[in-house]
A = this chain, B = another copy of it.
């Protein structure tokens, strides 16, 4: 753990727990410098990250104000796996592997995210996510077989990311996502209990490793009445 990460984590925890309350000022950068025994630059890097994530807002001459503690309205944002999200939110969640199939990657659904997608051997996993026993999401993953040879049912129903990172030691760096609203397919209707006139919220994403290799293509189909996604953004 790096020093600035320690500072970042500590401040974040204290904000989440209300130790630094919303609308109150954090200690000044100089005070934090003494508190953590770090240089001002290290403190500022931690604060920068908190600003980017929507935790705090700085004002020259005044100080740094807490504007938000973490919200978890099931953000589809960021690069967090379903497992990580459901654990954080203490959800009663269960995943069932519906289908596992080796095939060639269908590129068309992903070209608008990355024009360079190319056909490759993948493993397709179809999984149904339930929250409180109610089916809410169908996840269809296409995983590069050159990077991940196989995936067991146990892994598929627990956490792909934990397997990728902790067992295979893959370094997942970033992801691109796309949101659309589409008509419910027959599979959507069957698995999510929808009618032909219903819409679904579709999130397609491509995950990349540190060396910029794309290795995971996901199509996530959400029951429309359960879909809610929040985002924080800074101006210019």
Contact = CB atoms under 8 A, between A and B. Distances in A.
A175 B65 contact: no
Interface string A141-162: 0000000000000000000000
Given A180-B227, A181-B181, A212-B57, A234 B199 contact: no
A176 B232 contact: yes
Interface stretch (A32-40, A73-81, A101-109): A73-81
A230 B176 contact: yes
Interface in A132-190: 172-181
A230 B113 contact: yes
A181 B201 contact: yes
A212 to B, nearest CB: 5
Tally of this chain's copies = 2
A231 B181 contact: no
B230 A54 contact: no
Contacts of A233: 77-79, 174-175, 177
Nearest to A182: B224
Nearest to A179: B229
Interface residues of A, number: 47
B177 A210 contact: no
A235 interface: yes
Interface string A187-213: 000000000011101000000101110
A14 B85 CA distance: 37
A25 to B, nearest CB: 11
A170 to B, nearest CB: 11
A179 B203 CA distance: 12
A2 interface: no
A118 interface: no
Contact of A230 (B65, B174, B178, B212): B178
A17 interface: no
5 contacts: A54-B176, A59-B211, A73-B112, A172-B235, A179-B179
